[in-house]
Amino acid sequence: MSPTRTDTPTESPSPVWLSPDDCDLAELRALAAERTGPDDCPTAERIERNVPLYDSARLRALAATPEGRRAVQGELVRVLLDGPGIVVLKDAFDDHGVVDRATAAFHTLIEEERASGAARGDHFAATGANDRVWNALEKMAVREPGLFADYYANEMLALTASAWLGPGYQVTSQINVVNPGGAAQHVHRDYHLGFLSQERAAAYPAHVHRLSPVLTLQGAVAHGDMPVESGPTLYLPHSQKYGPGYLAWRRPEFVAYFEEHHVQLPLEKGDAVFFNPALFHAAGENRSAGTRRMANLLQISSAFGRAMEHVDRDAMCAAVHPVLVRRAAEGAGEGWLRRVVAATAEGYPFPTDLDRDPPADGLAPPSQAELVWRAVAEGWPPERLRTELRAATARRTGTEGS
């Protein structure tokens, strides 16, 4: 017997794909109008401009037991996911002596890299506009392991990272110094989908747009006082909940709305900010007379963002490339060829050594798949591709010239 039909209305299914046509500023405006209240963050010391500020000493005390830790982490997750999307942890790095030592180490790195003449690309600002140290995490650990240990033993970092990502998270760090007169960044969302062009992001289904933010926790540690005139980061609270946001942040009407409605909070040395990477944000303009605004930018990644097996894709690409060139000459269609390239080569340019493989011409370096496709399209001889693959691997792994 066939089931009885009912005329009860059902909710429309969620879209499988998102497109720029789905970007409706009115929807973002409604989200940004939401108010963060005390019930949303009961352990916060206060709420300023829709952003909860927490006393880190109090959080440490509340999280001293397993039950208390779980309760604190639950609140942080709710704020980052369903609330304003951002938390400020006052005095998260309460040992200012350690912060000062790290600041000195970072300044030494900046001066050495500047003296070397190495170009430093940036994701959302003009190359050379700021002082940038890529992979500051490894550089500090190798050069000053004792300082590294003192710095990264921080309880607030571990508390927030494990709340958002669970155990097994991986820390990366870049130093960013915005000098007096430094221009503001373009509003953006962050890693992963935020580093793709609008066209590439639209190629991922809607559920991946929902997944991307939970694979990374974005953070920043203030290495000096940051008054508003020095340009601390601009945020749009609650904007991380806007579904098509990875396709919207470049659109002029969304940029204009962000510029008019963002919030900006001063920070003090040792404060930390953590936020959902889908939050609309941008580093601010440094209008101060003499403040070099230094932040240690933390991108902390989920343990689940990696493949199960290590695959020597350089060897695979070198072996398959002559077949692809031959089949192309025999008339194989582009779709066929691209499917083989996708199964053979690494289609994602990260992780990489951004000192040697910088995003100088865009948000990301070329992927291995893009290199192989160029070799196929241009009919490279096998030895040229092998040479280019070795050079790309050396840049990506930091072994170039070794």
pLDDT in tens, 269-280: 999 999 999 999
Query: Residue 7 — pLDDT band, cuts 50, 70, 90?
Result: low
What confidence score (pLDDT) does residue 45 get?
Answer: 98
What confidence score (pLDDT) does residue 402 get?
Answer: 56
3-state secondary structure of 307: coil
Please say if the pLDDT value at position 220 is more than 70.
yes
Q: Give Cα 197 to chain centroid, integer Å.
A: 14
Q: What is the mean pLDDT of the chain?
A: 92
What confidence score (pLDDT) does residue 43 get?
Answer: 98
Mean pLDDT across 232-240: 97
How many Cβ atoms sit within 10 Å of the Cβ of residue 361? 10
Tens of pLDDT, residue by residue over 168-180, are 999 999 999 999 9
Tens of pLDDT, residue by residue over 86-115, are 999 999 999 999 999 999 999 999 999 989
What confidence score (pLDDT) does residue 9 get?
Answer: 53
Query: Residue 2 — pLDDT band, cuts 50, 70, 90?
Result: very low
Q: What percent of the chain has pLDDT over 70?
A: 93
**Cβ-proximal residues to 46 (8 Å cutoff; 6+ apart), any chain:** 52, 53
- The whole-angstrom separation of Cα 76 and Cα 375 is 48
**Cβ-proximal residues to 226 (8 Å cutoff; 6+ apart), any chain:** 232, 266, 267, 268, 291, 293, 295
- The whole-angstrom separation of Cα 176 and Cα 284 is 12
Please say if the pLDDT value at position 401 is more than 70.
no
- The whole-angstrom separation of Cα 277 and Cα 291 is 26
What is the domain partition of the chain in residue ranges? 20-30+37-301, 313-397
Lowest mean pLDDT among 157-166, 343-352, 382-391: 343-352
Please say if the pLDDT value at position 395 is more than 70.
yes
- The whole-angstrom separation of Cα 283 and Cα 200 is 24
Q: Please, what sign has the CA dihedral across residues 370, 372, 377, 379?
A: positive
- Locate 267 and state its tokens: 């920070």
- Locate 250 and state its tokens: 């470049």
What confidence score (pLDDT) does residue 222 get?
Answer: 98
**Helical (H) or strand (E) element with 209:** helix 206-211
- Contact in structure between 128 and 94 (CB atoms under 8 Å): no
- The whole-angstrom separation of Cα 49 and Cα 323 is 60
Whole-angstrom Cα Rg for the chain: 23
In the structure, how many helices (H) and strands (E) does the chain have? Answer: 15, 11
Please say if the pLDDT value at position 394 is more than 80.
yes
Q: Please, what sign has the CA dihedral across residues 216, 222, 226, 231?
A: negative
pTM for the full predicted model: 0.89
Q: What are phi and psi of 219, to 5 degrees?
A: -150, 170
Tens of pLDDT, residue by residue over 109-136, are 999 998 987 655 554 555 555 788 999 9
Tens of pLDDT, residue by residue over 330-374, are 999 999 999 999 999 999 899 999 989 988 667 889 999 999 999
- Contact in structure between 17 and 52 (CB atoms under 8 Å): no
106 exposure class (CB count in 10 Å sphere: 0-12, 13-18, 19+): buried
Query: In terms of Cα–Cα distance, which of 368, 374, 373 is closest to 397?
Result: 368
- The whole-angstrom separation of Cα 77 and Cα 395 is 37
CATH topology of domain 20-30+37-301: Jelly Rolls (2.60.120)
- The whole-angstrom separation of Cα 337 and Cα 342 is 9
DSSP 24-92: -HHHHHHHHTPPP-GGGSTT-SEEETTEEEEEHHHHHHHTTSHHHHHHHHHHHHHHHHTSSSEEEEETS
Query: Residue 1 — pLDDT band, cuts 50, 70, 90?
Result: very low
Measured distance between the N- and C-terminal CA atoms of the chain, rounded to whole angstroms = 74
